[in-house]
């Protein structure tokens, strides 16, 4: 008889010593640095990813990055993240921000905490960009700070994960 692991509690009972963070980028973000610098800046996706992985190494965390132009591939990667016991996701869903209930449902189903990042300030652009299917589920949203927004989101994730007790709950934060 095979044993089947069910439920999140089994998967999450012992957080690893090294926080595991997944950074996800949605469609067209592979074009960064080549077009539309007015909205998205001059950094390439490789520049951004290299900086985030380097920051993870300094902090003793495992930072993985993933970009895809297809909705299903992004959904599959979220499912994989749950199987890999990823602790935190930083995600720029790109145009799927405004359209993808399916990607939202994947994040909701896995219950991995995530920060939503946008390079541009989506509220200063066309009205169809003002609604996000992710923001109400996100721990927080960073929008309009360019590539720096990813770094801030990762800093938050690392600090949040360093504050865990050995049992996976959060230590009480000091007020100051
Ligand atoms: O500001 C952001 O980060 C966005 O998520 C970027 C999406 C856009 O649909 C969202 O409303 C806001 C678009 C990503 C397209 O990336 C490109 C990069 C370089 C050249 C062309 C597109």
Dist. CA 47 → ligand 1 center (Å): 16
Our count of domains for the chain comes to 1
Helix axes 45-59, 148-162, angle to 10 degrees: 20
Which atom of ligand 1 is found nearest the CA of 35?
Answer: 20
Answer whether residue 139 is part of any domain: yes
Summarised one tens digit per residue, pLDDT across range 56-71 is: 999 999 999 999 999 9
Answer whether residue 63 is part of any domain: yes
Answer whether residue 37 is part of any domain: yes
Task: Quote the domain boundaries for residue 96.
Answer: 18-162
pTM of the predicted protein model: 0.89
123 belongs to the catalytic site: no
Distant-in-sequence contacts of 37-44, Cβ < 8 A, 24+ apart = 39/119, 39/120, 39/125, 40/119, 40/120, 40/146, 41/119, 41/146, 41/147, 43/146, 43/147
96 belongs to the catalytic site: no
Dist. CA 5 → ligand 1 center (Å): 38
Summarised one tens digit per residue, pLDDT across range 155-170 is: 999 999 988 866 666 6
Q: How far is CA 101 from the centre of its chain?
A: 17
Element containing residue 90 per DSSP (H, E):
strand 88-92
Answer whether residue 176 is part of any domain: no
CATH classification at residue 83? 3.40.50.9100
């Amino acid at each position: 008889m095979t044993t089947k692991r069910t439920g999140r509690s089994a998967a999450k009972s012992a957080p690893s010593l090294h926080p595991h963070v997944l950074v996800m980028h949605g469609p067209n973000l592979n074009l960064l640095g080549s077009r539309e610098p007015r909205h998205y800046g001059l950094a390439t996706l490789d520049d951004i990813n290299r900086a985030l992985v380097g920051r993870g190494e300094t902090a003793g965390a495992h930072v993985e990055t993933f970009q895809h132009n297809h909705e299903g591939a992004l959904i599959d990667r979220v499912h994989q993240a749950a199987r890999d016991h990823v602790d935190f996701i930083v995600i720029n869903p790109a145009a799927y921000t405004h359209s993808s209930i399916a990607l939202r449902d994947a994040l909701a189903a896995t219950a991995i905490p995530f920060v939503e990042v946008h390079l541009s300030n989506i509220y200063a652009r066309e009205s169809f960009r003002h609604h996000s299917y992710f923001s109400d589920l996100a721990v927080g949203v960073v929008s309009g700070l360019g590539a720096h927004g990813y770094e801030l989101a990762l800093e938050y994730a690392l600090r949040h994960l360093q504050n865990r007790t050995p049992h996976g709950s959060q230590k009480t934060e000091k007020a100051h």
